[in-house]
Structure 1
Amino acid sequence: MRCFLFWMAVTILVRRVQHPVSPAAVAAPGGNATLECSFSTSKNLNLTNLIINWQHGETVVHSFYLGQDQLDRQGQAYKGRTHLFKDELLEGNASLRLIRMQPDDEGEYSCYVNNEQDSTTRRLKVILAALFDEPLLSLQPTCDSINITATLSNGFPQPEIRWFDSSGRDILQTSTIQLDTRGRYKVSSTISSRQNAIETITMEMKLEVLNQSFTRSLLLHPPPDPCQECCSTPFTSRNRTAMATVVTLFVTFILILMFAVKKWKASHGQQEHEQAM
Structure 2
Amino acid sequence: MVTGPDSLYVTLLILLHSLTSESVKFQVLGPTEPIVAVAGDDIILPCYLKPNISFEDMRVDWLNLDSDFKDERVYRYDNGRIVYDNQIRSYRGRTSLFTEELGRGNTSLKLTRVQGSDEGRYKCFVKSKDDYDDVTIQVLVTAIGSKLVVSLEGRKDGEMGLLCESEGWHPEPDLVWLDSKGVSLSAGPPKVQRDYEGFYTVKQHVIVQETDTNLFTCRVSQSRINEEVETEVHIPSE
Scaled by the length of structure 1, the TM-score of the pair is: 0.56
1:56 equivalent in structure 2: 64
Say yes or no: does 1:124 pair with 2:114: no
Secondary structure class of the residue paired with 1:210: coil
Task: State yes or no: 1:110 paired with 2:123.
Answer: yes
1:152 matches 2:160? no
Q: Distance in 2 between matches of 1:78 and 1:48?
A: 26
Separation in 1 of the partners of 2:110 and 2:179?
47
- Deviation of 1:121 after TM superposition, in Å, equals 4.1
- Alignment partners' CA distance in 1, 2:116 and 2:231: 30
Contact kept, 8 Å, 1:41 with 1:92, in 2: the verdict is: yes
Question: Partner amino acid for 1:111?
Answer: C
1:172 to 186, 196, 201: 186
RMSD: 4.2
Instruction: Give the alignment's TM-score, normalised by structure 2.
Output: 0.63
Letter in 1 for 2:56: T
1:86 alignment partner in structure 2 = 99
Over 3 Å counting, the alpha-carbon distance change for 1:180 and 1:41 in structure 2 is closer
Q: Residue 110 of structure 1 aligns to which amino acid in structure 2?
A: K
Q: Aligned partners of 1:18, 1:42: CA distance in 2, in Å?
A: 10
Contact 2:43-2:114 within 8 A present in 1 as well = no
How many angstroms apart in 2 are the aligned matches of 1:139 and 1:188? 13
> Max radius of gyration: which structure?
1
- Identical residues among aligned pairs (%): 21
Query: Structure 2: where are the runs of 5+ without partners?
Result: 1-19
Distance 1:182 1:47, change over 3 A: closer
Letter in 2 for 1:160: D
The answer to whether 1:210 aligns with 2:225 is: yes
| In structure 1, C-alpha distance between the alignment counterparts of 2:49 and 2:88, rounded to whole Å | 31
Secondary structure class of the residue paired with 2:205: strand
Find the aligned partners of 1:54 and 1:18 in 2 and give their Cα distance: 14
Which whole-Å CA distance do the structure 1 matches of 2:110 and 2:34 have between them?
17
Structure 2 CA distance for partners of 1:101 and 1:148, relative to 1, 3 Å: same
Instruction: Write the mapping of 1:236-255 to structure 2, written as runs, cut at 5 A.
Output: none
Q: Contact conserved, 2:149 with 2:165, CA < 8 A, in 1?
A: yes
- Structure number having the greater helix percentage: 1
Equivalent pair of 1:27/1:126 in contact (CA under 8 Å): no
Shift of 1:136: 1.9
Using the alignment, how far apart are the partners of 1:130 and 1:141 within structure 2? 32
- Compute the displacement of 1:67 (Å): 2.5
**Within 2, Cα distance between the matches of 1:66 and 1:212?**
45
2:104 is the counterpart of 1:96: no
CA distance, structure 1, for counterparts of residue 112 and residue 118 of structure 2: 10
Contact residue 116 and residue 142 of structure 2 kept, 8 A: no
